[in-house]
Amino acid sequence: MPRITPFLWFDNQAEEAANFYVAIFPNSKVGKITRYSEGAPAPAGTVMTVEFSLDGRDFIGLNGGPHFQFTEAVSFSIATRDQAETDRYWDALLADGGKPSQCGWLKDRFGLSGQVTPEQLLRLTALPDPGRAQRATQAMLQMVKIDIAKLRQAADAA
């Protein structure tokens, strides 16, 4: 089986980003760091790539310069168990310059998008009762950070 590893292009903050993510997610660590050599497109000795794992999933960050930027087309999806966990990841990912968006989406300070998604959101919006599911969905569409209590309240409203 081939090994497939997400490869994230940063301007010059790959190591900073890896350390940021490792501090947020459990079971995470920074691994091998490679540096540019003489004659490379960046100053010799500066970080070229950083291998890191987030909750046991491997990633590679590249300091490739400002040529490419992240878009919402690629994002982290973070499934959370409860409101406390939702709040913790939401706040941590927005720290130091992140920007909230709609429906649980955000961009961290490096421009990488993510969705902080409570498991209850998926259950409530897929309820077998279409009225309850629709009310939960409509409530979610009005939210920035997902609020589980408000989703339940909307689903249960008559």
Q: Which residues contact 111 (CB under 8 A, 6 or more apart)?
A: 69, 70
Lookup result for tokens 């997610």: 25
Domain count, the chain: 2
Instruction: Indicate the average pLDDT of the chain.
Output: 96
Do 49 and 58 touch, CB atoms closer than 8 A? no
Domain boundary among 51, 68, 85: 68
| Cα–Cα distance measured from residue 139 to residue 147, given in angstroms and rounded to the nearest whole number | 9
pLDDT at 28: 98
96 & 35 share domain = no
Q: Are residues 7 and 64 in the same domain?
A: yes
Q: Please indicate, yes or no, whether residues 33 and 106 belong to a single structural domain of this protein.
A: no
Residues 49 and 89 in one domain: no
* Each residue's pLDDT tens digit, 13-50: 999 999 999 999 999 999 999 999 999 989 999 999 99
Residue 116 DSSP code: E
Q: Are residues 82 and 155 in the same domain?
A: yes
Query: Residue 33 maps to which CATH number?
Result: 3.30.720.100
Q: What are the residues facing 52 on neighbouring strands?
A: 30, 59
Q: Note the pLDDT tens digit of each residue in 44-81.
A: 999 999 999 999 999 999 999 999 999 999 999 999 99
Q: Which of 70, 64, 62, 67 is nearest to 108 (CA)?
A: 70
User: In this structure, are 21 and 91 located in the same domain?
Assistant: no
Task: Mark whether 24 and 78 lie in a shared domain.
Answer: no
Task: Quote the domain boundaries for residue 148.
Answer: 70-158
* CA–CA separation, 45 and 145 (whole Å): 40
Which residues make beta-bridge pairs with 113?
75, 107
Do 74 and 52 share a structural domain?
Answer: no
What pLDDT, on a 0 to 100 scale, did the predictor assign at position 48? 98
Of residues 95, 5, 94, the one with CA closest to residue 50? 5
